[in-house]
C-alpha cells in the first residue's frame, strides 16, 4: 500500500488538479459556512429590529383583562414580562380639552426598543404624566404644570422624545400620553363600553419565544375542542378576542419586506451552494482526467484495482482534511468579517453571536455536504478509472457515454442533497434546483443544436467550432455560473424598487377619522390652503355583513371569519383608492346598490360576482349586488375598505369621514392649529412609525446589498475557475497547432475569436437563464415579473470581451515555448 501511496501523492501534488480541488472544496466550506451563519444572525437581528416597534418579542392582547395564568406561564419559561394598558380618554387643563391615547406602563417597559424622555428619567413615578410633543402643544402646558386625564390629576414631568413602540388603529389616536400602570384606576376612564386594550409584553431568546407560541396555539386549539357547551362559549369568546402578536406580525407593513428578506437570504444560500457545487464538479472532473494515464501506468506495473481504490480514497481523505482546515479557518474569518462589516455599515443592526455558534452550527453541515458532493462526482469516474486498461499508456480512449451519464447523475444527486441539507426553505430550494436542472438541460440541447448547425455550414465561422457537444457543455457551465450571479443582482434591484415604492416620498403621515359631514368642505379648504397632498375623504359608515343571497352565513363560517364577527367600515365612492386593482367584473360603480368586494374576503366567504349581500346598518338593512372583486394593498398608508358601494347607496350623514394627508416636517406647527379648529375629529400621527419603518427598510436594503456583493465575489471565483479549466483543455490544441507551423498571430486570433464566441453565447444564454430564474423567484416573493433590458445589453458584450482577452493572453505564453516542450509539460500536468 505504501508503495502506491508515495508515488500517488507525489504525482497528484505535482499537478494543478489536486490544488484546484482543494481550493474548490475550501471555497465551498468557507462560503456556505459564512453565508449560512450570517443569514441566521441577520434574521435574528431583523426580528429584533421589528420587535422594537412593539416593545417586545411577543404581545398578548385582549379587550378584557388577561388571565394571570398567561403571565405565570411566560415567567415559568423565563420570559421577561411587562403589562401595558392602552385606552383613549380626555386630557384637559382649565382652558384646553384634548382627546388623547393613554398608555399605562410598568417600570420594565419597554422590553425591546427605546423610550427617551426629556428631562431624562429612569421610570415614570405614580402621579406623573409624560406627554408627546403634540399633546404638550395642544394642551399648552410646560414641564411642572398640572394635567387632568378623565378624573385623575397628574403632574407633567417629561416630554416624550422617542418611543419606538408606535401604535396604529384606535390605540394610536394622536396625541399620546404615558402614565404609570398603578394610576389607571384613579382616572376612572375605564367604564362599561370603553375601548381599551390590555397587553402582556414578553421578551426572551428565540427558543423561549417559540415555546410560548406553541403553548398558546395548543391551548387555544384545546379550548375550541372542549366538550362542555358552556365552556365552549366562554373559551371561544376568549379565543376570538385574545391574540398573540409576534414581532413580524406587530406591524403588517413590515411583514412583506421581512418575508422578502428571508426569501432573499435563502436564495443567496442556494445560489452560493450551487456555485460551489459547480466549482467542485469542474475541478473533480479535471483531477480525474489528469490521473487517467497514471492509473494506466500503475496497472501496467501490476497494481490491483482494490489497492488503487484504497490509495485514492486515502488521498481524497487527505484532500478533504486539508480543505476542512483551510475552509474552516477562512469560513470563520469570513463569517466574522461579514458580520463586523454589517455592524459598521448598518449602525442600527444589533448582532449577538460567538465563534462557538459558528463552529457548532453551520460548519459541520458545510463540511459533510461538501464531502458528499466531492465523492458524488469523483467516485463514478474513479470506478471507471479502475477499469482503465494498461494500453491507455500508448493509446488515448474516450469516456463511454454510460460513464458520463453515471457521473452526471450521481454528481447531480449529490448537489441536490447538498443544497437541500444546507437550506431551510424546501419549497424555494426545490423550485430553484428544479428550474436549474430543466433549464440547464434545455439550454445545453439548444446550444448543441445551434453549434452543430453552424459547424455544418462549412464556412469561416464553423472552423472555430470543432467539438459542438463539448463546446455546448462549456458554454452551459459558464452561462449557469454567470446567470446565478445575475439572478441575485437582478432580484436585489427589484426588491429595492419594491421597498422604495412601499413608502415613497410624500406618503401620508396623518390620518383623520371621525370628521363630521358638515365639516368636510371646510376641512378640504384648509388642506388646499396649506398645500398638503391628501387622499380623497371617504364617508365611513359602520355596518355588519349578515347574509348572502337572502340566506344567513353558517355558524361555522361565522366562527372562522373575522369579517362576520364585527362591524365593518363601509364607504361609498365613485373612485377606488389608487392602489386597488380590479381583479374581475365591471370597473365602475354606477347604480346605487352596487358593491365592490375585496378579493381575499370574497374568497374566504365564497362570494362571487352577481351575489346579493345584505348588510345591517344603523338605519336598517341594505342589499347590494356584487359587481367586481379587487385586490387591496393593506400595507399602504392610505384608507382601504373591504366593501365599497356605489354613490347614494347609503346615507352619508349616518356616519363620519376619514382620509389621510401628508404634512411636511417644516409645517408641523400649522397642524396644531388644524387640530384645534376641528376639535371633534380624531387625528392620528403615523409619522413616527413611518420613520421607524424607513429605518428598518434601510437596514434591509443595506443587508441585501452586502449579501449580493458577497455571493457575486464567490460566483466570480467560480467563473474564473471555469474559464481556466476551459483554457486548460485548449493547451494541447495550441501546442499541436504550434508544432504544425501556425504563427503566433494566427494562434492569438484563433483563441480570441473562439473563446470570445463562447463568451458571447454564454452571455446571451445566461441572460435567458437569469430572466427565467428571476421570474420564478419573483413570483414566489410577490414581485412584479419584468424584463431586464440592461443585462441583455451589458452581459453578452462583457463576457465576449472578458473571454476574448483571456483567450488571447492566457495561452499566448505557449506560443513562445518550443512545441515539444509544451507537449511534455501538458502530459506531465
List pLDDT tens digits, range 665-715.
888 888 888 887 887 787 777 776 667 666 666 666 776 676 667 666 666
Residue 604 has pLDDT above 70, yes or no: yes
3-state secondary structure of 542: strand
Site of grid cell 483551510: 326
Mean pLDDT calculated for residue range 262-274: 71
Q: Considering just the CA atoms, what is the radius of gyration of the chain in Å? A: 34
Residue 394 has pLDDT above 60, yes or no: no
DSSP 400: P
Q: Is 741 left (phi over 0), alpha (psi -120 to 50) or beta?
A: left
Residue 253 has pLDDT above 60, yes or no: no
Contact between 26 and 330 (Cβ < 8 Å): yes
Q: Which of 48-52, 153-157, 435-439, 495-499 is predicted with the least confidence, judged by mean pLDDT? A: 495-499
Per-residue confidence at 444, pLDDT binned at 50, 70, 90?
confident
Alpha-carbon gap, residue 50 to 85, rounded angstroms: 21
DSSP 485-538: HHHHHHHHHHHHHHHHHHS-TT---EEEEEE-GGGHHHHHHHHHHHT--BPPPE
Alpha-carbon gap, residue 771 to 302, rounded angstroms: 54
Mean pLDDT calculated for residue range 739-759: 75
Q: Pick the residue with more confidence: 233 or 68?
A: 68
Sign of CA dihedral 445, 446, 452, 455: negative
- Which residues make Cβ contacts (< 8 Å) with residue 328, sequence separation at least 6? 29, 30, 33, 359, 363, 367
Q: Which three cell numbers stand for residue 610?
A: 352577481
DSSP 189-206: ---TT--EEEEEEEE--H
- Predicted TM-score (pTM) of the model is 0.61
Average pLDDT over the chain, rounded to an integer: 77
- Rounded to the nearest 10°, the torsion over CA 317, 323, 326, 327 is -130
Contacts 24+ apart (CB under 8 A), 65-69: 65/198, 66/198, 66/199, 66/200, 66/242
Residues 429-443 as b or e (16 or more Cβ within 10 Å = b): bebbbebbeebbeeb
pLDDT the model gives residue 130: 94
Per-residue confidence at 612, pLDDT binned at 50, 70, 90?
very high
Mean pLDDT calculated for residue range 76-100: 88
Going by C-alpha positions, the residue among 644, 587, 639, 589 that lies closest to residue 615 is: 644
Contact between 607 and 613 (Cβ < 8 Å): yes
Residue 816 has pLDDT above 50, yes or no: yes
- Rounded to the nearest 10°, the torsion over CA 465, 468, 471, 476 is 130
pLDDT digits 0-9 by tens, 310-362: 877 888 888 888 888 888 787 777 777 767 766 665 555 566 666 666 666 66
Q: Which three cell numbers stand for residue 539?
A: 364617508
Residue 510 has pLDDT above 70, yes or no: yes
Q: Which three cell numbers stand for residue 433?
A: 434546483
Q: Which three cell numbers stand for residue 604?
A: 374566504
* CA 443 to chain centroid: 29
Alpha-carbon gap, residue 664 to 661, rounded angstroms: 10
Compute the 3-state secondary structure of the chain and give helix, strand, coil in percent, each to the nearest 5: 60, 15, 25
pLDDT the model gives residue 133: 83
3-state secondary structure of 92: strand
Q: Which of 296-300, 405-409, 449-453, 547-551 is predicted with the least confidence, judged by mean pLDDT? A: 405-409
Q: Which three cell numbers stand for residue 174?
A: 394622536
Alpha-carbon gap, residue 613 to 607, rounded angstroms: 9
Residue 179 has pLDDT above 90, yes or no: yes
Alpha-carbon gap, residue 83 to 306, rounded angstroms: 72
Residue 391 has pLDDT above 70, yes or no: no
pLDDT the model gives residue 232: 39
Going by C-alpha positions, the residue among 260, 710, 801, 796 that lies closest to residue 485 is: 710
3-state secondary structure of 127: coil
Burial of 588 (0-12, 13-18, 19+ CB in 10 A): middle
Going by C-alpha positions, the residue among 335, 356, 367, 328 that lies closest to residue 34 is: 335
Burial of 828 (0-12, 13-18, 19+ CB in 10 A): exposed
Residue 828 has pLDDT above 70, yes or no: no
3-state secondary structure of 399: coil
Alpha-carbon gap, residue 24 to 234, rounded angstroms: 63
Most confident of 38-47, 203-212, 262-271, 669-678: 203-212
Mean pLDDT calculated for residue range 423-448: 77
Residue 400 has pLDDT above 50, yes or no: no
Mean pLDDT calculated for residue range 268-294: 70
Give CA separation, 480 vs 101, 720, 759, 765, in Å: 57, 13, 12, 8
Partners of residue 147 on adjacent β-strands: 154
Amino acid at each position: 500500500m505504501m508503495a502506491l501511496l508515495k508515488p500517488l501523492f507525489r504525482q497528484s501534488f505535482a499537478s494543478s488538479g489536486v490544488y484546484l480541488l482543494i481550493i474548490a472544496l475550501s471555497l465551498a466550506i468557507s462560503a456556505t459556512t459564512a453565508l449560512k451563519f450570517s443569514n441566521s444572525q441577520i434574521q435574528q437581528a431583523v426580528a429584533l429590529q421589528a420587535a422594537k416597534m412593539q416593545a417586545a418579542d411577543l404581545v398578548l392582547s385582549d379587550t378584557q383583562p388577561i388571565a394571570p395564568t398567561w403571565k405565570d406561564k411566560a415567567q415559568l419559561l423565563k420570559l421577561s414580562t411587562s403589562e401595558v394598558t392602552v385606552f383613549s380618554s380626555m386630557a384637559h387643563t382649565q382652558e384646553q380639552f384634548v382627546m388623547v391615547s393613554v398608555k399605562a406602563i410598568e417600570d420594565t417597559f419597554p422590553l425591546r426598543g427605546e423610550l427617551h424622555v426629556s428631562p431624562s428619567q429612569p421610570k415614570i413615578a405614580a402621579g406623573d404624566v409624560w406627554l408627546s410633543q403634540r399633546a404638550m402643544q395642544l394642551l399648552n402646558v410646560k414641564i411642572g404644570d398640572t394635567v387632568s386625564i378623565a378624573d385623575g390629576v397628574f403632574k407633567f414631568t417629561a416630554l416624550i422624545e422617542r418611543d419606538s413602540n408606535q401604535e396604529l388603529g384606535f390605540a394610536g389616536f394622536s396625541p399620546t400620553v404615558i402614565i404609570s400602570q398603578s394610576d389607571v384606576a384613579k382616572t376612572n376612564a375605564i367604564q362599561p363600553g370603553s375601548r381599551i386594550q390590555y397587553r402582556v409584553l414578553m421578551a426572551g431568546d428565540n427558543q423561549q419565544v417559540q415555546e410560548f407560541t406553541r403553548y398558546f396555539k395548543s391551548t387555544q386549539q384545546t379550548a375550541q375542542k372542549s366538550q362542555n357547551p358552556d365552556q365552549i362559549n366562554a373559551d371561544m369568546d376568549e379565543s376570538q378576542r385574545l391574540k398573540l402578536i409576534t414581532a413580524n406580525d406587530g406591524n403588517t407593513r413590515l411583514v412583506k419586506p421581512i418575508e422578502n428578506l428571508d426569501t432573499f437570504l435563502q436564495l443567496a444560500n442556494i445560489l452560493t451552494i450551487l456555485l460551489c457545487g459547480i466549482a467542485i464538479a469542474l475541478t473533480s472532473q479535471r483531477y480525474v482526467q489528469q490521473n487517467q494515464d497514471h492509473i494506466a501506468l500503475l496497472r501496467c506495473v501490476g497494481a490491483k484495482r482494490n489497492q488503487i481504490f484504497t490509495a485514492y480514497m486515502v488521498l481524497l481523505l487527505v484532500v478533504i482534511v486539508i480543505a476542512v482546515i483551510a475552509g474552516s479557518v477562512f469560513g470563520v474569518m469570513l463569517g466574522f468579517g461579514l458580520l463586523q462589516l454589517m455592524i459598521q455599515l448598518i449602525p442600527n443592526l444589533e448582532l449577538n453571536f460567538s465563534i462557538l455558534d459558528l463552529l457548532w452550527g453551520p460548519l459541520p453541515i458545510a463540511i459533510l455536504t461538501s464531502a458528499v458532493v466531492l465523492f458524488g462526482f469523483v467516485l463514478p469516474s474513479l470506478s471507471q478509472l479502475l477499469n482503465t486498461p494498461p494500453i491507455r499508456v500508448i493509446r488515448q480512449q474516450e469516456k463511454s457515454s454510460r460513464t458520463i451519464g453515471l457521473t452526471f447523475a450521481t454528481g447531480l444527486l449529490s448537489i441536490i442533497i447538498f443544497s437541500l441539507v444546507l437550506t431551510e426553505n424546501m419549497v424555494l430550494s426545490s423550485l430553484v434546483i428544479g428550474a436549474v436542472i430543466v433549464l440547464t438541460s434545455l439550454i445545453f440541447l439548444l446550444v448543441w443544436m445551434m453549434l452543430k448547425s453552424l459547424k455544418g455550414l462549412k464556412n469561416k465561422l464553423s472552423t472555430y467550432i470543432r467539438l459542438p457537444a463539448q463546446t455546448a457543455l462549456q458554454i452551459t457551465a459558464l452561462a449557469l455560473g454567470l446567470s446565478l450571479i445575475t439572478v441575485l443582482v437582478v432580484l436585489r434591484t427589484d426588491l429595492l424598487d419594491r421597498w422604495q415604492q412601499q413608502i415613497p416620498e410624500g406618503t401620508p403621515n396623518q390620518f383623520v377619522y371621525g370628521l363630521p359631514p358638515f365639516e368636510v368642505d371646510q376641512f378640504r379648504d384648509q388642506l388646499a390652503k396649506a398645500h398638503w397632498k391628501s387622499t380623497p375623504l371617504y364617508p365611513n359608515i359602520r355596518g355588519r355583513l349578515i347574509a348572502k343571497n337572502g340566506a344567513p352565513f353558517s355558524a361555522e363560517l361565522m366562527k372562522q371569519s373575522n369579517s362576520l364577527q364585527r362591524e365593518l367600515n363601509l364607504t361609498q365612492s365613485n373612485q377606488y383608492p389608487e392602489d386597488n386593482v380590479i381583479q374581475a367584473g365591471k370597473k365602475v360603480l354606477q347604480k346605487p346598490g352596487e358593491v365592490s368586494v375585496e378579493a381575499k374576503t370574497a374568497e374566504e366567504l365564497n362570494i362571487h360576482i352577481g351575489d346579493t349581500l345584505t348588510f345591517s346598518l344603523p338605519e336598517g338593512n341594505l342589499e347590494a349586488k356584487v359587481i367586481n372583486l379587487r385586490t387591496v394593498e393593506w400595507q399602504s398608508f392610505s384608507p382601504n375598505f373591504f366593501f365599497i358601494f356605489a354613490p347614494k347607496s347609503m346615507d352619508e350623514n349616518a356616519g363620519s369621514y376619514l382620509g389621510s394627508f401628508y404634512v411636511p416636517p417644516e409645517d408641523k406647527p400649522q397642524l396644531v392649529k388644524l387640530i384645534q379648529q376641528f376639535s371633534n375629529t380624531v387625528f392620528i400621527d403615523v409619522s413616527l412609525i413611518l420613520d421607524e419603518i424607513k429605518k428598518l427598510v434601510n437596514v434591509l436594503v443595506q443587508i441585501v446589498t452586502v449579501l449580493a456583493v458577497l455571493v457575486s465575489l464567490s460566483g466570480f471565483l467560480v467563473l474564473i475557475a471555469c474559464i481556466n479549466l476551459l483554457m486548460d483543455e485548449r493547451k494541447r490544441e495550441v501546442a499541436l497547432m504550434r508544432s504544425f507551423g501556425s504563427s503566433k498571430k494566427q494562434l492569438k486570433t484563433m483563441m480570441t475569436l473562439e473563446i470570445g464566441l463562447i463568451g458571447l453565447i454564454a452571455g446571451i444564454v445566461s441572460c435567458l437563464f437569469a430572466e427565467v430564474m428571476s421570474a420564478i423567484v419573483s413570483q414566489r416573493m410577490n414581485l412584479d415579473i419584468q424584463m431586464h433590458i440592461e443585462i441583455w445589453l451589458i452581459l453578452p458584450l462583457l463576457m465576449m470581451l472578458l473571454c476574448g482577452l483571456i483567450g488571447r493572453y492566457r495561452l499566448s505564453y505557449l506560443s513562445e515555448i518550443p512545441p515539444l516542450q509544451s507537449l511534455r509539460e501538458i502530459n506531465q500536468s
